[in-house]
Amino acid sequence: GNSVTQMEGPVTLSEEAFLTINCTYTATGYPSLFWYVQYPGEGLQLLLKATKADDKGSNKGFEATYRKETTSFHLEKGSVQVSDSAVYFCALMEYGNKLVFGAGTILRVKS
């Protein structure tokens, strides 16, 4: 079945450091890929998405590129801020509306 694997956290960085959170997926077809973020005390919200190979999703300084050859969708940001501290979930959608999530990666940014 479809699955998503994320790097384990927590990831702890200093402000302005470079961020990478790895995500790889297994799917039978050609899924759409997503990053959702959950800030403390809030619900999950869509951060960015890509619907086909080589697409790059971007939002709020975060980027991720859909790599079909490596079945990956790694999340990157050039300079993190304290306000980026949250839990980040990689997800895929192949059929209908069913999102399949990874386990989540906690990001802590210290000033």
Partner 1 sequence: GAGVSQSPRYKVAKRGQDVALRCDPISGHVSLFWYQQALGQGPEFLTYFQNEAQLDKSGLPSDRFFAERPEGSVSTLKIQRTQQEDSAVYLCASSVSKGGGAYNTGELFFGEGSRLTVL
The residues that touch partner 1, with contacts defined as CB under 8 A, are 4, 32, 34, 36, 41-46, 49, 51, 89, 91, 93, 95-104
Structure tokens at 76: 């990157």
Going by DSSP bridges, is the β-strand pair 11-14/105-110 parallel, antiparallel, or unpaired? Answer: parallel
Q: Least Å distance between CB 41 and partner 1?
A: 7
Query: In terms of CB distance, is 19 or 35 closer to partner 1?
Result: 35
> Closest separation between CB of residue 79 and partner 1, Å?
26
Give the residue with the Cβ less far from partner 1, 17 or 106.
106
Report how far apart the first and last C-alpha atoms of the chain are (Å, whole number): 41
Q: How far is the CB of 38 from partner 1 (least distance, A)?
A: 8
Nearer to partner 1, 17 or 101 (CB): 101
CB 19 within 8 A of CB 77: yes
How far apart, in whole angstroms, are the C-alpha atoms of residue 98 and residue 85? 27
Distance CA 91, CA 81 (A): 23
Q: How far is the CB of 95 from partner 1 (least distance, A)?
A: 8
- Closer to partner 1 by Cβ: residue 24 or 101: 101
| Separation of CA 67 from chain center | 13
